[in-house]
Amino acid sequence: MLRTDSLAQYPSAMERHHTRPDPAEIGKFPARCVHCRANIPVRPRVKTLKDLEPLTTRLLEIQHLNSAASLLDWDQETYMPAGSGRARADQLATLQGLAHDTFTAPEIERLLAQWVDPATGLPPESPDDAWDEPSRALLREVWRDFSRAKKLPSEFVKRLRRECSLAQQVWAEAKEKSEFRKFLPNLRTVVALKQEEAQYLGYQDSPYDALLDSYEPGMTVAQLNPLFATLRKRLVPLLQQITNAPISIDDTVLTRAYDTTRQLEFGRLVLTAMGYNFDTGRLDLSAHPFTTSFHPSDVRLTTRVYENELAACLFSCIHEGGHGLYDQSLDTERYGTPLGESLSLGIHESQSRLWENCVGRSRPFWRCFYSYLQQLFPEQLANVAMEQFYTAINRVKPSLIRVEADELTYNLHIMLRFEIEQDLMEGRTRVEELPDVWSEKMRSYLDIVPGRDAEGLLQDVHWSLGAIGYFPTYTLGNLYAVQFYNQALKEIPGLNSEIEAGRLTVLKKWLNQKIHRWGRTFTPDQLVRRITGGPLSPEPYLAYLEEKFGALYQLKAPG
């Protein structure tokens, strides 16, 4: 077939020498003239994103379907009338099915087959058929998504979606009644389906790797196991030290009565200072805080607000704001392609954790913002010193519920889930054994055991959604966050003083330049090396925790 658009690869040749290269030789050097068969003495130009337009136009349509589905999701969590859940589920199933079918249709395969070498997942690298870097990255990532999607039979995708939709409903009822055995048969089905999925996707060492790769491209059990072992070895004793510390922190100041409207006002104030743009964003209420995006010009946050829990609204605003800044700063020009998409769940979470913990729970931040908070709540805070407030928001206390955990114990909740998921996927643990396993691990890591399933293994929605392999990205986010933040402290002159002065956008701009604008141009591993000069590592994070909480709880330096 004559690809007339590619003739433009030989512009000067066409003008000066020959009128038309042989269509069969387009992209080659030398190509021969279709008329006289003589070699055309001009190299084809390096191909760019412009040459990929037949593909990116198609991807953009799929993105519009996905964005519409995301709006349906957002609406479901915020404003949808209670009685229309079933209709919404049907609408979502149609949109998501259509997006999947369009992506895996022969059209995309035909386009990719022209450009990508299936052996490498990249365009062939030769001087005669050259692509620029963005195009190579785009083709690599689209090929990755496409080949993963193609491995899953359409029938399987529908079955998985149906079973998870059912499992989610049963989970909600089971949690409501705090009865794990109600959810057990569905969880067994979900685990079996995820094992099946891993077989379709393929893996080297562990079926769990196939699932991890969905959320954190390239991540494996072989990398995570030593990483979590290091965390376990250092965090469990650190927590014990804190529990036995001479200092005990009183955080009752956070449970005084705080007007909810004013709490939201403060949330908006901090978000605005962070550089979150309300002209292209919103803040609404939902049962569980989340961030969603339909385009960089429409990125929405949600939070929750309770009169007697000041920290809930405050830190969820900052946390979701971190996610929101990432999505608002993605490359609009490359919207709809992987280059305009966020990189991985771990990297996304690094943005929220960096803002929530490294910034939002730091002294420099509160040296600026505490006086605003006091002005909004004089009755509650006028007599509370900033240092007292700072220690209150950093109190470490083992608790049953992951989403309410402090900065330190949070990772132990993740570790427990990671170990359980891995054992389930590798067949070492059966679903029936989970209640005992859960209790035992909680006792071992946190020295606290749930009395009810609702506060134990029924607390998270993830497994009912089939999102096995997702949890580790929360801890990866913590690790990346500290690595990135340490680098920001090195590279941004006087970052702490800027934060103390409320100029949070210097940090936002650094993150824009270093992370947000690149989309999926680099892999997570490439990105962290590019920014910090080294690979993902638990050391900076552990050093950060040991220093921060060592000081706060007046612990003796180890050894």
Contact residue for a copy of itself among 83, 106, 246, 559 (CB under 8 A): 83
Cβ atoms of 549 and 390 within 8 Å: the answer is: no
Contact residue for a copy of itself among 19, 48, 84, 154 (CB under 8 A): 84
Query: Cis peptide leading into 364, omega within 30 of 0?
Result: no
Binding status of residue 80 toward a copy of itself by CB under 8 A: yes
Contact residue for a copy of itself among 6, 91, 260, 380 (CB under 8 A): 91
**The token pair that represents 15 in the structure block:** 């003008």
Site residues (CB under 8 A) for a copy of itself, limited to 323-352: 335
Contact residue for a copy of itself among 39, 243, 272, 277 (CB under 8 A): 277
Round to whole Å and give the CA distance between 540 and 414: 18
Cβ atoms of 139 and 115 within 8 Å: the answer is: yes
Query: DSSP readout, 35-78?
Result: TT-PEE-SPPPPB-GGGGHHHHHHHHHHHHHHHHHHHHHHHHHH
* Range 121-132 burial, b when 16+ CB lie within 10 A, else e: bbbeeeeebbbe
Least Å distance, CB 153 to a copy of itself, is 20
**The token pair that represents 553 in the structure block:** 């709880």
Catalytic pick among 141, 197, 216, 320: 320
Least Å distance, CB 81 to a copy of itself, is 5
Contact residue for a copy of itself among 21, 26, 42, 67 (CB under 8 A): 67
CB atoms within 10 A of CB 7: 16
Cβ atoms of 343 and 524 within 8 Å: the answer is: yes
Number of H helices, E strands in the chain: 22, 5
Binding status of residue 298 toward a copy of itself by CB under 8 A: yes
Choices 272-280, 354-362, 385-393, 412-420; region in contact with a copy of itself by CB under 8 A: 272-280
Contact residue for a copy of itself among 1, 4, 37, 81 (CB under 8 A): 81
Choices 293-301, 437-445, 493-501, 548-556; region in contact with a copy of itself by CB under 8 A: 293-301
Contact residue for a copy of itself among 295, 319, 516, 520 (CB under 8 A): 295
Least Å distance, CB 62 to a copy of itself, is 9
Total site size for a copy of itself, rule CB under 8 A: 37
Contact residue for a copy of itself among 199, 240, 297, 383 (CB under 8 A): 297
Residue 237 sits at the vertex; the CA angle it makes with 233 and 243, to the nearest 5 degrees, is 155
Name the residue among 135, 197, 226, 165 with its Cα closest to residue 536: 226
Least Å distance, CB 61 to a copy of itself, is 5
Binding status of residue 105 toward a copy of itself by CB under 8 A: no
Least Å distance, CB 68 to a copy of itself, is 5
Which one-letter amino acid corresponds to residue 224?
Answer: L
Binding status of residue 95 toward a copy of itself by CB under 8 A: yes
Binding status of residue 158 toward a copy of itself by CB under 8 A: no
Is residue 320 among the annotated active site residues? yes
Collapse the DSSP code of 329 into the 3-class scheme (helix H, G, I; strand E, B; otherwise coil) and give the result: coil
Choices 77-85, 133-141, 304-312, 409-417; region in contact with a copy of itself by CB under 8 A: 77-85
Cβ atoms of 313 and 329 within 8 Å: the answer is: no
Collapse the DSSP code of 14 into the 3-class scheme (helix H, G, I; strand E, B; otherwise coil) and give the result: helix
Catalytic residues: 320
Which residues bind to a copy of itself, rule: CB under 8 A? 60-61, 64-65, 67-69, 71-72, 75, 79-84, 86-88, 90-91, 94-95, 98, 277-282, 284, 294-295, 297-298, 300, 335
